[in-house]
């Protein structure tokens, strides 16, 4: 049997081969392949993000506008829900059976073992009603978090709102750090200053066991970071003025923008129709949002920044300034009020100089001013001459901050439009002349200007030639004025030309028979320079505009008012702007007649005029 | 004649005893780590006995203590008793297995546990050493090389009866262990062809599951063809054999599906599927394998340290103090620790083989090889399962896994050999 002894080596070899395979395999999964370590961390490490305290928002007088308040979400872990007494549960949470069913279904689809919100944004009293009964409903729990609370019923468009992040926003690299269902500023300042308001998230690493139960800090909290509260926003808004403006604009569609010309600070920014900012927070926010979204008056639309309109006669000021700068007219230039060229608004004295023309808002006069500025005879070709002329004219116009974004700290800002020669080439296949574009001279036609831009033009005139970028926020946290808003933007028009048109603008308000007489604040010794406008509207009643600044000698406020379908600007827009200026400069309003007259539907102003 | 203790101390193989004690100690450390709870009171002495009995590590101390008593009994018993009563023990065990099947309460689907008060024992564990004794005894009385075919049948019957009873009580894993006896039979002269054919059949079955069947058949045909081309004489002489092998292989390849779907039970099928593709059943059987690999794989080179294993401590690994005890080794002691455990097993096996080879009797030697083969089978399947190289088969890691049945059974298995070995000189004299 000796020969069988060799077989012991075979057995030993089998043992050894298996041991070596194990050693090699273990070396591979333990030392070479790092993926198991990651998988182990995924198993046991839970990253808990602590949302920082969101920054507050103040007005220019340090009045608190937006703060935070604790709200409560009713969370549900579907797997832990046992024998739910649906009828009683519905009664306790004040929801219909369908709502509860749908909510539970959605929660199940999200996860059976993780908590997801069934009802969000319960207030403290609402919580109290639910909390005592919660013990009877296993699987449901309360989670507290901070939500926005508003100290004002106004300024909704500017403030914006805070809501959960959408899947579309999550794709934006800017929001890469956000978790699903996390809250962020969705519009207005809340969105534009999201980064500053948000602060820095804190992160805690916790170890959990297989059932997700916490088992203490990871490595004694070595990698944990504390959250840093968001910074406060100090806005330039005068909330009293804002409230007053919204009150006056009640029942109408349109916008009002008031600026401090010396700084570019936005004092008031009214978009009508408005809504209360609190509508977009708290329980039922989703439904209220949908109601606002589907409202045909479009209350969510931020009109002063997002709705370019033809500026109407107010634009005549820019037209005149450009022509003065080009040297094609002088303040003393007179043009006949020739109705064959273009109709005038009314019969008035002969426009023998620019002041009379402005005071009466003479359409033929400014038609001829712009023709002089555009048709310079630089080409014998009529079409070419117009094209060259318009291009140069446009360049001057755009130096007023028109036709492009001003750089306001608001995401919803639009460019408006000052049409280019190319634009008309496309529209008219290169066959167009001054006769085609003359409407621009009186702020009509293919031109689009936002109320913000209009107010900024008035601030520029008030400053005699430059403007600061209009802005809502004067300071973030403890930091002072932001450098980008301290830079002067000069127009291409020399300062003396501004002086040349201001007397006419004063005549509009205070001169006998001026189109903006309703705006006069002469009784208080406040001088005002302004311009009315009536924007032709092919779809309905004309839009009323008025833009002004005051006092003329030391401008403290520049304002632009745009009221849709309110007819002649002097009737509605002018007194409204005047009340705003009175309110801002005097702190109170004594002309109750106008104050009672203005709020309400815009239709009335139209009938008065005819 | 020297006194009894003196006789033992001279003739017992202390090296094996040392390795055994070391393994039991290291095993206990890992059972402690696996059943350690950071929430529990840190001072174990402040706990009452019944409170301590909730912890596997404490109960394992009791099992180890009783195992020591068992060792003394095993060694004191006259070595000749193992030889003499081999068939008696075997028969008794068969009866016990039958009784267990009838009276046992089903636990996790298997009727294999006997409950004696607070103690739960699994007779299947002890069937290993009784069977080993019986087949060794039988082997000593015959000769596998020149034996009659009837002897073959008897041996096969002796080996297969216990596993069949164990399968009937739904403990397939414990039944597979009896396949390990083939290694011992091989040493005693069984034709190597049986091992080769079995290994080849296993390889073909696994390949048939991994590789498209036509490729496999094609590759095999080409291989045969090449042998024919380069060594035509072999094939000419053995053409009928070659053709029948070819036919059997083709049949096996295409029979895999039938075997897989109709012979295997669903949970067994799943375990093999998971072996090939762990993501096949990520929350069921695949969960065990995946989590086990994560625990071991996250250990790195030197491990996370004693009691620092997160995957085991936080219950991600199932059965972590019994069948998956190796996860704790891998996670807390890393590759170095795993290698130490593997080397411990290899040392023990080498020593057992050495002890077996020095036996003068066929009985002793065969029994020694049975011991080595059974321990090896457990080692290979258990560790293989935790690192995804073997299907999930519920058998413990000898000396490491928590549990009285398993510790007692392996202790008995090993120390009967040492008892026989201690008297080998007398055997010679006799």
Kindly list the residues from chain B whose CB atom is less than 8 angstroms away from the CB atom of residue A215.
38, 313-314
Q: Which of B192, B310, B342 sits opposite A44 (nearest CB)?
A: B310
- Residue A210 confidence class, pLDDT cut points 50, 70, 90: confident
pLDDT at A548 over 60: yes
**Superfamily name and number for A44-76+170-231:** Penicillin-binding protein 2a (Domain 2) (3.90.1310.10)
CB burial of A321-353 (b: ≥16 within 10 Å; e: otherwise) equals: bbbbbbebbebebebebeeebbebbeebeebeb
pLDDT at A346: 80
In the block, residue with structure tokens 């705006």: A519
> By CA distance, what is A11's nearest residue in B?
B183
Q: Which ipTM was obtained for this model?
A: 0.91
Across chain B, what does the average pLDDT equal?
Answer: 85
Where helices occur in A259-333 by DSSP H, the ranges are 285-294, 303-306, 316-326
Question: Count of residues for chain A?
Answer: 610
Judged by a CB distance cut-off of 8 A, whether residue B298 touches chain A is yes
**Is B334 in contact with A30 (Cβ distance < 8 A)?**
yes
Å from B301 to nearest chain A CA? 6
Find which of A4, A30, A33, A220 to mutate to test the B interface (most B CBs within 10 Å of its CB): A30
| A239-609: CATH number | 3.40.710.10
* Domain locations along chain B: 4-189+363-424
pLDDT at B389: 87
pLDDT at B4: 57
For A49-87, write each residue's pLDDT tens digit.
788 899 999 999 999 999 998 888 888 888 888 888 888
Kindly list the residues from chain A whose CB atom is less than 8 angstroms away from the CB atom of residue B293.
29, 36
For B315-339, write each residue's pLDDT tens digit.
888 888 889 999 999 999 999 999 9
Structure tokens at A59: 């007005």
pLDDT at A609: 41
More confident: A47 or B178? B178
For B236-265, write each residue's pLDDT tens digit.
677 777 788 888 888 888 877 777 777 777
* Domain locations along chain A: 44-76+170-231, 239-609
pLDDT at A593 over 90: no
pLDDT at B426: 63
pLDDT at B330: 94
Burial class of residue A45 (count of CB atoms within 10 Å of its CB; 0-12, 13-18, 19+): middle
DSSP 3-state of A143? strand
- Residue A525 falls in which region: left (phi positive, over 0), alpha (psi -120 to 50) or beta: left
Q: Are strands A254-260 and A265-272 parallel, antiparallel or unpaired?
A: antiparallel
DSSP secondary structure letters along A417-445: B---HHHHHHHHTT---HHHHGGGGGT-T
- Residue A539 confidence class, pLDDT cut points 50, 70, 90: confident
More confident: B226 or A29? A29
First to last CA, chain B: 16
pLDDT at B92 over 90: yes
Across chain A, what does the average pLDDT equal?
Answer: 89
Do B393 and B173 contact (CB within 8 A), yes or no?
yes
């Amino acid at each position: 049997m000796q020969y069988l002894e060799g077989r012991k080596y075979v057995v030993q070899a089998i043992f050894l081969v298996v041991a070596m395979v194990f050693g090699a395999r273990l070396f591979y999964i333990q030392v070479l392949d790092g993926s198991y370590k990651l998988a182990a961390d995924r198993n046991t490490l839970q990253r808990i993000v602590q949302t920082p305290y969101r920054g507050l928002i103040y007005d220019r007088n340090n009045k608190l506008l937006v703060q935070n308040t604790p709200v409560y979400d009713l969370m549900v872990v579907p797997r832990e829900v046992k024998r739910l007494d649906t009828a009683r549960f519905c009664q306790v949470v004040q929801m219909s059976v369908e709502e509860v069913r749908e909510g539970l279904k959605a929660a199940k689809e999200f996860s059976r073992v993780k908590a997801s919100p069934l009802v969000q944004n319960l207030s403290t009293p609402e919580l109290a009603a639910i909390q005592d009964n919660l013990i009877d409903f296993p699987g449901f729990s309360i989670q507290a978090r901070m939500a926005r609370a508003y100290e004002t019923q106004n300024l909704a468009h500017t403030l914006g709102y805070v809501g959960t992040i959408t899947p579309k926003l999550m794709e934006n690299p800017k929001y890469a750090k956000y978790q699903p269902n996390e809250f962020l500023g969705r519009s207005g300042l809340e969105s534009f200053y999201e980064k500053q308001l948000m602060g820095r998230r804190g992160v805690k690493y916790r170890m959990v066991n297989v059932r997700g139960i916490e088992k203490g800090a990871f490595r004694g909290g070595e990698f944990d970071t504390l959250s840093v509260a968001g910074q406060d926003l100090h806005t330039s808004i005068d909330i009293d003025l804002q409230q007053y403006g919204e009150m006056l604009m009640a029942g109408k569609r349109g916008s009002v923008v008031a600026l401090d010309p010396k700084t570019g600070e936005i004092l008031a920014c009214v978009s009508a129709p408005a809504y209360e900012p609190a509508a977009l927070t708290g329980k039922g926010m989703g439904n209220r949002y949908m109601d606002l979204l589907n409202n045909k008056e479009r209350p969510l639309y931020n009109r002063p920044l997002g709705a370019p309109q033809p500026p109407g006669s107010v634009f005549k000021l820019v037209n005149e300034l450009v022509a003065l700068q080009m040297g094609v007219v002088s303040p003393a230039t007179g043009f006949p009020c020739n109705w064959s060229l273009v109709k005038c608004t009314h019969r008035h004295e002969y426009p023998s100089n620019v002041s009379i023309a402005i005071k009466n808002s003479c359409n033929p006069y400014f038609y001829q001013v712009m023709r002089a500025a555009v048709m310079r005879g630089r080409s014998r070709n009529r079409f070419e001459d117009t094209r060259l002329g318009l291009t140069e004219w446009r360049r001057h116009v755009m130096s007023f901050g028109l036709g492009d974004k001003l750089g306001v700290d608001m995401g919803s800002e639009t460019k408006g439009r000052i049409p280019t020669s190319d634009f008309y080439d496309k529209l008219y296949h290169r066959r167009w002349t001054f006769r085609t574009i003359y409407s621009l001279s009186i702020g009509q036609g293919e031109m689009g200007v936002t109320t913000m831009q209009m107010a900024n033009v008035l601030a520029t005139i008030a400053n005699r030639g430059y403007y600061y970028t209009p802005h809502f926020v004067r300071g973030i946290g403890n930091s002072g004025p932001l450098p980008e808003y301290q830079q002067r933007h000069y127009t291409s028009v020399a300062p003396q030309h501004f002086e040349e048109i201001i007397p006419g603008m004063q005549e509009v308000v205070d001169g006998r028979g001026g189109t903006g007489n309703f705006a006069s604040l002469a009784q208080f010794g406040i001088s005002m320079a302004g311009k009315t406008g009536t924007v032709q509207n092919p779809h309905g009643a004309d839009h009323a505009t008025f833009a002004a600044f005051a006092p003329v000698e030391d401008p403290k406020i520049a304002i632009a008012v745009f009221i849709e379908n309110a007819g002649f600007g002097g009737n509605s827009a002018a007194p409204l702007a005047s009340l705003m200026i009175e309110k801002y400069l005097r702190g109170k309003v004594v002309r109750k007649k106008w104050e009672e007259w203005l709020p309400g539907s815009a239709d009335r102003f139209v009938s008065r005029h005819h | 004649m020297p006194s009894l203790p003196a006789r033992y101390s001279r003739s017992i193989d202390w090296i094996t005893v040392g390795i055994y004690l070391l393994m039991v100690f290291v095993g206990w450390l890992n059972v402690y780590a696996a059943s350690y709870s950071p929430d529990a009171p840190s001072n174990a002495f402040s706990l009452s006995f019944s409170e301590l009995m909730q912890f596997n590590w404490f109960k394992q101390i009791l099992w180890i203590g009783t195992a020591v008593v068992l060792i003394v009994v095993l060694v004191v018993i006259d070595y000749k008793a193992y030889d003499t009563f081999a068939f008696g023990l075997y028969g008794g065990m068969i009866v016990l297995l039958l009784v267990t099947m009838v009276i046992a309460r089903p636990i996790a689907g298997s009727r294999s546990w006997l409950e004696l008060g607070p103690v739960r024992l699994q007779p299947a564990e002890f069937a290993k050493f009784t069977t080993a004794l019986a087949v060794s005894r039988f082997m000593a009385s015959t000769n596998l090389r020149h034996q009659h075919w009837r002897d073959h049948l008897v041996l096969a019957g002796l080996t297969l009866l216990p596993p069949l009873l164990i399968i009937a009580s739904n403990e397939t894993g414990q039944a597979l262990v009896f396949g390990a006896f083939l290694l011992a039979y091989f040493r005693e002269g069984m034709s190597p062809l049986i091992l080769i054919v079995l290994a080849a059949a296993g390889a073909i079955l696994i390949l048939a599951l991994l590789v498209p069947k036509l490729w496999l058949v094609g590759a095999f045909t080409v291989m045969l063809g090449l042998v024919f081309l380069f060594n035509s004489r072999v094939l000419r002489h053995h053409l009928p054999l070659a053709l029948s092998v070819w036919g059997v292989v083709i049949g096996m390849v295409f029979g895999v599906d039938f075997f897989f779907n109709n012979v295997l039970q669903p949970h067994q099928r799943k375990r093999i599927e998971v072996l090939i593709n762990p993501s096949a059943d990520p929350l069921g059987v695949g969960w065990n394998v995946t989590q086990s690999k994560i625990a071991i794989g996250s250990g790195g080179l030197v491990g996370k340290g004693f009691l620092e294993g997160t995957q085991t401590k936080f219950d991600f690994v199932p059965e972590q103090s019994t069948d998956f005890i190796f996860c704790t080794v891998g996670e807390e002691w890393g590759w170095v620790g795993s290698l130490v455990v593997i080397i411990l097993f290899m040392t023990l096996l080498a020593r057992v083989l050495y002890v077996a080879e020095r036996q003068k009797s066929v009985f002793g030697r065969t029994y020694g090889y049975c011991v080595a083969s059974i321990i090896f089978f457990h080692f290979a399947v258990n560790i293989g399962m935790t690192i995804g190289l073997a299907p999930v088969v519920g058998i413990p890691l000898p000396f490491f896994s928590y549990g009285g049945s398993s510790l007692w059974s392996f202790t008995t298995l090993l120390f009967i050999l040492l008892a026989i070995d201690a008297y080998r000189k007398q055997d010679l004299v006799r």
